[in-house]
Amino acid sequence: MQYLKEEVRDKILSIALGEFKKNGYLAASMRNIASGSDIALGSIYRYFTNKQALFETLIDPVYSKIFTYLSKIQEQINESVLSNNCAPMPYVNDIVNELVEIIMESDAEIMIIFNKSKGSKYENVKEELVNLINDINVQSYPKSIARDENNRTMIYVVSYTLVEGISLILKEDYDVDRIKLLINKLIYISFKDLHIRLDGLKSEDNN
């Protein structure tokens, strides 16, 4: 009997993952999930009290993995800033490469977090990631660059563009190798020698 219950629960989770990926959190239907799982609508609530509980059961392990890692990165950045030994590209690369590794294990869940989580507690994940990457850059660049208001605006725009670019890539049904290649290209285009380019533009503005 216990095996049957676990089997039903696993099927519900599998069907729910497809439903959330297709329709997003707000539009996902518990009725559709129950029908796809071959159980009565009322029976699904024996396993999950509501749609939010079902969604969080699927998404929270991946969300926790991402932000446990990001917390460690933030600690490293703070230590590096204090020791005056901080450069942005390695940290940005590390963050994105870790995301790619998580994508390899949980691509549907990551896509849902980035693109289909409106109305849930995960809907601001992209904004949190933008702010983290922006902080990395602001802390890493020389003060002469980072304290300029226009440069800080452009650093934020580039950070935002990177995260939105990753989000767009994840919307497509690319294989993991192509995702990794595209994201690495995006990092290179966005951040390679950005501080030099910003400093050059500042010099031109002063002429």
Q: Are residues 41 and 65 in the same domain?
A: no
Q: Are residues 19 and 64 in the same domain?
A: no
Nearest CA among 161, 147, 168 for reference residue 191:
161
- pLDDT of 17-48, one tens digit each? 999 999 999 999 999 999 999 999 999 999 99
CATH code for the domain of 157: 1.10.357
For residue 83, name the pLDDT band (cuts at 50, 70, 90). low
CATH code for the domain of 35: 1.10.10.60
Number of domains in the chain: 2
Look at residue 40 in the predicted model and tell me its pLDDT: 93
List CB contacts of 159: < 8 A, sequence separation 6 or more: 130, 131, 133, 134, 137
**pLDDT > 60? residue 203:** no
Look at residue 105 in the predicted model and tell me its pLDDT: 83
Would 106 be classed as within a structural domain?
Answer: yes
Nearest-5° angle of CA 62, CA 64, CA 69? 100
This prediction's pTM: 0.76
> Which residue reads 């490469």 in tokens?
97
Would 53 be classed as within a structural domain?
Answer: no
Q: Are residues 134 and 65 in the same domain?
A: yes
Domain holding 173, by residue range, is 59-206
Would 28 be classed as within a structural domain?
Answer: yes
Reported as type and span, the H/E element at residue 129 is helix 125-140
> Given phi > 0 = left and psi -120 to 50 = alpha, else beta, which region is 193?
left
